[in-house]
Amino acid sequence: MRETWRWFGEFDPLSLTEIAQTGTAGIVSALHAIPYGKVWPAEKIADRRAEIEVAGFTWDVVESLPVHEDIKRGTGPLSQHFDAYRASLENLASAGIKTVCYNFMPILDWTRTDLSAPLPSGGTCLHFSAAKMAVFEIHMLGREAAREAYHQDAIRAGDIWFLSSTEAERDTLLHAVMAGLPGAVDRYDINGLKTVLASYDGLSHDDLRANLKRFLEEVIPTASTLGINMCIHPDDPPGEILGLPRIVSTQDDIGWIMQAVDDPANGLTLCTGSLGANPYNDLPAIARAFGHRTHFAHLRNVTKDPDGSFTESGHLAGDVDLVAVIDELLEAEANHDTNIPFRADHGHALLSDIGQTFQPGYTLIGRLRGLAELRGIIAALS
């Protein structure tokens, strides 16, 4: 397995010189300043690659080449969007980039309710509170239907929290939820989020699946011809939020996607934290089933609560058996002569991380601790 480190370019407080001290070999990056749906220009891709290579790295994975919301909704100038996506793939291939991560989650790339939840031993972590998310949907967005989507314990706790919360605390919750919009994408206020949610009214699970299948049919043949591996990221969290359908949350979902366009270029980003937040997912079994179609791995861990909440734990401390997952990925590499790039996904804010303006979860010390633990697993298994 090949070590990589996610770097947000101009949006990252860490320099490549600092990242070099982690000992990682590859960089995971993207052109976050380019609006969704626009072609990534070849010259900007070349500039980013040169910047990475001058620092002594290779640009191993694009994360992410975003999918326009029109494609997810199945509306708007779809041919134009597909043409732009294919053009970006062609420009990436011309620069030697062969792995592209993307997701098909409506509106938000990921969702948390707390960006700096305190840890018992010091430091902070990312946390998803089902109670606070229920508050956000029911009380702040006015979605009474959300009462059917959450555990009753979460709804009761959320009602109590809302009654005692201040406007500043509710603003902090909105900020945390909006942190799932990456790069230069504008954040929404409550009314703005209501408006964009309304654009998805009536879209069913089957509709979103059909729109993903159309996307795959449009782009996978091009990716395959170019030698690019596309790898879809699972839903985060892997369950319904905001009344939006989720179609990459379970092993069955992944199997459906792999068969929708049965081409090796149509692959998976195996995110153990995202999939691990679903109590019904067996992560070693998923790695065993789809190791041959896993083109990229996000390795992190979570601790789950009965009401649907979860906390991003230490890499060796959560509910996911990362040793077993990595063992399956190493077996897939041996059987299929591949070298799967992986990164220590997210990390606690520890020591000098505290007070820094990192992208949420993308700390230095916390991720380095996670990388060290993953290195230990891989060394022992190898």
Mean per-residue pLDDT pooled into runs of 10, the chain (382 residues): 96 96 97 93 98 98 95 97 98 98 94 96 96 97 94 96 97 94 72 94 96 98 98 95 96 98 98 97 98 98 97 96 98 96 97 93 97 98 95
Which CATH architecture fits 2-107+198-381?
A: Alpha-Beta Barrel (3.20)
Structure confidence at residue 300 (pLDDT): 97
Please work out, in degrees rounded to the nearest 5, the angle formed at the alpha carbon of residue 104 by the alpha carbons of 336 and 117. Answer: 95
Structure confidence at residue 27 (pLDDT): 98
CA distances from 134 to 49, 141, 305, 339 (A): 42, 10, 15, 41
Please state the domain extents for the chain.
2-107+198-381, 114-197
For 209, the token pair is 């699946």
pTM of the model: 0.95
Whose CA is closest to 39, among 108, 110, 101, 87? 87
Residue pair 197/137 in contact (Cβ under 8 Å)? The answer is no
Residue with tokens 């939840």: 117
Structure confidence at residue 180 (pLDDT): 82
CA distances from 116 to 106, 157, 353 (A): 25, 20, 11
Residue pair 106/208 in contact (Cβ under 8 Å)? The answer is yes
Please work out, in degrees rounded to the nearest 5, the angle formed at the alpha carbon of residue 116 by the alpha carbons of 378 and 357. Answer: 85
Beta bridge partners of 292: none
Pinpoint the alpha helices (H) of 28-77.
42-54, 69-73
Structure confidence at residue 182 (pLDDT): 58
The residues that are catalytic are 233, 271, 298, 345-346, 362
Structure confidence at residue 12 (pLDDT): 94
Q: Rounded to whole angstroms, how far apart are CA atoms 156 and 127?
A: 19
Structure confidence at residue 183 (pLDDT): 54
